[in-house]
Amino acid sequence: MAFPLPRGIMPPEISFLAEMEMVTILPRQRLEGLELLGGPVEPLIPPRRASLPLWLALLLKRQRRANILPPSWLHPESLSFILDIETQYEEYKDTFSPPPPLPGQPLLHDRGEPAVATPRYTPDGERYYPAPPFLPQNVARDHVPPQELQTLPFHWLEVGNMLLDAASDDLVDPDQTRRLLKELREVRMAKIRSGVDALDAAAMGGGGVALTGVGAIELGEGRRFISGVVDGLRRIGASREQARREELAEEMANGGYDATQDDDDEMEF
Amino acid sequence: MDIDDILASVDRHDPTTPESTALDHQLLTRFWVAERGVSELLPWPGPLMDRMMDRVRRQIETIEDLAATSADPLPSTSTTTNLQTTTTNTNTTINLTLSILQTDLSRTQYTLRSLLRQRLSKLTKHSMHYLLRISPPTTQQTQSQSQTAEHDLRPEDSIPTVGQEAPHPPLSAPEVRFLVAHQHLLAKHYGDAFLGSFPPQLRRLDDNAGGTSMVQGPEVREVVFVRCLVEEVRVVVPPGDGVEEEVVGGTAMRMGDVWAVRWEGVRDAWRRGEVEVL
Amino acid sequence: MSNMYGELGNKLVQHAKRTQALTHLPPYQTELVRAVAREVRDLDRDVARLLTPFEGSFNPSQEPAIACALLVDHLCMRRNKRCLLAYHCVRTEKLEELCWTGVDVLEQQLPVAEEASAGAAAAAAAAAAQGQGAGSGMNHSSLSPEEEEYFRQYSDLLAAYKGQWTDIDLTGSLEPPKDLFIDVRVLKDAGEIQTEYGVINLTKNSQLYVRQGDVERLIAQGFLERLG
C-alpha cells in the first residue's frame, strides 16, 4: 500500500508543520544568509535579532549558536490570563478562547469593524491568504499594546513544548510556564470531550460545527471523535424522514448492492 | 523584512526569486495538508510541482558542490597556524551550512514524498472510479458494445481506455500511466487466477456483481476541518438527500473561524482559496 | 441443493479477513480457490440446463419455480465472484505493501535452512540467485505462481514510477524528519570516519555534531554515545 496513515494529518506531521513557525533568535555567531527550499534565511549578524523557522532556531540553539526570544504569549502572565478566559468567562465556558486574528481580521476590541481579507497572488494567478504556520504569531515583540488580548496561536502546544524542551533557559519561569501549559491542555481537552452539548442545532442550520480557537494538535487528536459526533448530530437534527432518506442514500453510496445482496443471500441459506 | 513584505513583492513571472521560493513552499505545504485531509483526489498542481522539483534538483547540486569543497584536503604547503585555523573555521562553517541545507532538503523531500504517496493511495483505492472519470465517454460506450467474441472476453476489456492526450485532471501524467498499468496488471492477475475460467458474462471488472470495491468513488460527504480565510463563507448543501436543489447554509463562517463541515459543502470555497483544510 | 453453495465462499472470506490482520502472507488457498471457481462453472451449467427446454424464449412469470431457481444460481455465482475478488484483493494489497517497504517476497519463498542440509541450502541460494522461487521443487511458497508474477510486475511498475521522482526517494521514510543531525560523544578512540562532508576524527571524549545516518552503526557498536 502506498500510504498507511489514516485521513487527516497526525500529531507527528502536525509537529512538523509547527516547526515552520517563524521565531526570533539572538545569534551568538555570524552566518551568511541562506537560500533554503523553505525560503530565504536572513544572515546572522550578532547582536542583531533574526527571524528563522523554528526547526532551524532549535538546530542552532542545540549547538549553542543562538538563543531564542520567546513570543509574548509564552509567559506565565499571558498564559494565566488566557487560562482565566478559558475557565472564568461564561462566554467561553464551552468554546475555546479566541485565536489570534488573521491579517485583515479585526482584533476583538474592534469587533464592530469589518474584516478585510487581502490576498496575495500565486505565480499561477490564484489567490492566497497566509495562515498558520506562515504568520508571525510566534516571533518576539518588544512592545505589546496594553489593550491587546493575549491569545494562543494555532500551534501553541507544539511551539510551547519544543521551546520548553530545547530552550527553557530562554524562557521566563519555565516551570510555571510548563504547569500553565499543562493546565490549559487539560481544560481544553475537556471542552472537546464535553463539547457535544456545544455542538448545537443552531450550527446545523449553517451546515457545520464551529471549533474556532482549537489548537492544531488538539484538532489532530480529536479529529475522529469530532467527526463521529458531527455525523451523529447530523442524523439527530434532521427530521425522521430526511434521516431515513440520508441513511438509504449512504447505504447505496457505500455499496448498496451489498445491502440488497444480503437480502437476497438470505434466500440461499 | 516582514514576511508580509516579502510575499507582497513576489514577482509573478520569476520563479527563481527567494520570495517566490517562500511562497511556493507555503503553497506546497498547504496543498499537502489538504491532500492528507480529504478522501477525494485533489487537482494536480502541475506548475507548482514542476517548480518545486526544479528547485529540489538544483539544491541537491548545490549541496553536492559544497560537500565536495569541504572534503578537499588541507593544502599540503600550508605552514602557518593562522591559515590552518581559518581553514578549520571555514570547514566548520561549511559543515554547519551543509547540515542546515541538508535538513531543509530532507523536510521538503518528505513533504513531496508524503504527498505523492497519499495521492497514489487514493487512486488505487478507487481505481475504476478515476479511470472512468478521465476516459472520454465514447470509449466507455464502445467497450460495452465491443466486437470481441463473447467467449474471448477478458477482465482487462472492461477497463476504460484513456486518451493519449494529456492532461487528465485531477491526475498527473505519471499518475495516469501508473493507474492504467496497475489496473491492467490487476485485471490480468484476476483473469489468470480465477476470472478467466468464469462464464464470459461474469468476467467484467466494472459491474456490481464484482462487489463494492469495483466502481466506488471517494466519500464526499465526510467531515473535514477548515478555516475560513475570507470575510464570509457559506456552506452549501448540494442537491440530493431529499433536497431538490443546492441550498446555501443559513449561518456563515467568518474570517478566522474553524469549522467541522462536509467536504462537499466547502469544496467550491476551497477551490477559490477561501477556506483552507486543516 | 442451494445450501451446499456459498459455504466455500464464506471460507475464502474468512481467510481474507484473517490475512488483513497479519503482517505476512499466509499460504495461498489453491484448492479452495479452485473449488469456488468450479462451483461457479457448475452453477452456470445448471442455468443452461434449466433454460435449455425453452430454447431462448423463457418467460419468468409463467415459470416462477424455474425463475426462482435461476435467480438463486445467479446470486450464488455473483457472490462467489465477490468472495474470490475479496480474497485476491486482500492478498495483492499485502503484496504491494511489502513491495513499498522494500521486502522481496520472492526471496523469502525458499525455506529457511532449519534442518536442511548444507547442500540443500546451497541449492536454495543458487535457485534464489536465479529467481526460480517455488519452481525449484522445494515448495514452501505462500504465494501462488500468479501472485509471484504479480509481485514481479508490480515491482517493475513501482520502479518505473519511482524513477520519475528520484530526487525524492519515493520509498523513503513517511515519518517527518527529526534530528537529522545529532550530538554525540566519542567513548573510545575510533580513528577517522568518512562522511559526505569529509573526514571526522573520533578521539575519545570529543563531542561532535554529526549526521545520524553516518554514525548509527558506531553508536550501536558502542564507539559513540548520543547526547541529549
- Asked whether residue C192 carries a pLDDT value surpassing 90, the answer given is no
pLDDT-based confidence at A247, cuts 50/70/90? low
Residue C150 half-sphere exposure toward CB, CA atoms < 13 A: 27
pLDDT at position A269: 21
pLDDT at position A224: 79
Instruction: Find chains touching chain A: ≥3 CB pairs under 8 Å.
Output: B, C
Instruction: Find chains touching chain B: ≥3 CB pairs under 8 Å.
Output: A, C
Do C41 and B197 lie within an 8 Å CB cutoff? Answer: yes
Q: Give whichever of A47-61, A216-230, A239-253, C177-191 has the largest mean pLDDT.
A: A47-61
Do B241 and A246 lie within an 8 Å CB cutoff? Answer: yes
pLDDT at position C198: 63
Of the residues C28, C83, C85, C156, the best mutation for testing chain B's interface (the one with the most B CB atoms within 10 Å of its CB) is: C85
pLDDT at position C197: 58
Mean pLDDT of A31-39: 96
**Which has more confidence, A226 or B175?**
B175
Q: Which helix (H) or strand (E) holds B223?
A: strand B223-228
Mean pLDDT of B25-39: 97
Task: Kindly state whether A227 is in contact with chain B, defined as any CB-CB distance less than 8 angstroms.
Answer: yes
Signed CA dihedral, A10, A16, A22, A26: sign only: positive
Q: Which residue spans within chain A are E strands per DSSP?
A: 22-27, 34-36, 39-41, 50-53, 66-69, 120-121, 127-128, 208-210
pLDDT at position B244: 56
- Kindly give, in sequence order, each residue whose CB lies less than 8 Å from that of residue C99, ignoring residues fewer than 6 positions away: C105, C151, C154, C155, C158
- Asked whether residue B71 carries a pLDDT value surpassing 80, the answer given is no
Domain spans of chain B?
Answer: 3-123, 127-211, 223-277
Residues of C with Cβ-Cβ distance to A16 under 8 angstroms = 176-177
pLDDT at position C196: 61
The amino acid that residue B266 corresponds to is V
Share of chain A above pLDDT 70, in %: 79
- Asked whether residue A261 carries a pLDDT value surpassing 50, the answer given is no
Tell me the backbone φ, ψ of residue C21, rounded to 5 degrees: -85, -10
CB C40 within 8 A of CB C67: no
pLDDT at position A199: 53
pLDDT at position B12: 53
Block residue for cell numbers 453453495: C5
Smallest Cβ–Cβ distance between C86 and the set B53, B186, B211 belongs to B211
Q: By mean pLDDT, which of A252-261, C48-57, C116-125, C189-198 is the weakest?
A: A252-261
pLDDT at position C139: 36
Do A12 and C176 lie within an 8 Å CB cutoff? Answer: yes
Share of chain A above pLDDT 90, in %: 56
Average of per-residue pLDDT values in chain B: 83
Tell me the backbone φ, ψ of residue C40, rounded to 5 degrees: -60, -45
Residues of B with Cβ-Cβ distance to C180 under 8 angstroms = 99, 102-103, 106
Q: Which residues of B118-157 are buried (b: 16+ CB within 10 A; e: fewer)?
A: bbbbbbbbbbbbbbbebbeeeeeeebeeeeeeeeebbbbb
Task: Kindly state whether A115 is in contact with chain B, defined as any CB-CB distance less than 8 angstroms.
Answer: yes
Task: Kindly state whether A1 is in contact with chain C, defined as any CB-CB distance less than 8 angstroms.
Answer: yes
The amino acid that residue B182 corresponds to is H
Do C149 and B112 lie within an 8 Å CB cutoff? Answer: no
ipTM of the complex: 0.85
- Asked whether residue C180 carries a pLDDT value surpassing 70, the answer given is yes
pLDDT at position A241: 47
Smallest Cβ–Cβ distance between A37 and the set B21, B39, B241 belongs to B21
pLDDT at position A109: 53
Each residue of A193-213: pLDDT tens digit? 776 555 554 344 556 778 899
- Asked whether residue A258 carries a pLDDT value surpassing 60, the answer given is no
Q: By mean pLDDT, which of C111-125, C154-168, C202-216 is the weakest?
A: C111-125
pLDDT-based confidence at A74, cuts 50/70/90? very high
Query: Which residues make beta-bridge pairs with A128?
Result: A120
Q: CA C5 to CA C13: how far, in whole Å?
A: 14
Q: Give whichever of A94-98, B22-26, B259-263, C216-220 has the largest mean pLDDT.
A: B22-26
Check whether domain B223-277 has CATH 3.30.2450, yes or no: no
Residues of A with Cβ-Cβ distance to B253 under 8 angstroms = 206, 208
- Kindly give, in sequence order, each residue whose CB lies less than 8 Å from that of residue B264, ignoring residues fewer than 6 positions away: B220, B221, B236, B238
Average of per-residue pLDDT values in chain A: 83
Q: What distances in angstroms separate CA B267 from CA A102, B132, B238, C25, one per listed residue?
A: 21, 21, 11, 40
Each residue of C120-176: pLDDT tens digit? 445 555 544 444 443 332 234 889 999 999 999 999 999 999 999 999 999 989 999
Q: CA A164 to CA A143: how far, in whole Å?
A: 23
- Asked whether residue C30 carries a pLDDT value surpassing 80, the answer given is yes
Average of per-residue pLDDT values in chain C: 82
Mean pLDDT of B51-69: 93
Mean pLDDT of B128-133: 91
Residues C67, C70, C76: CA angle, nearest 5 degrees: 140
Instruction: Find chains touching chain C: ≥3 CB pairs under 8 Å.
Output: A, B
Each residue of B200-242: pLDDT tens digit? 888 888 775 444 455 788 988 888 999 999 999 988 877 765 5
Mean pLDDT of A260-269: 32
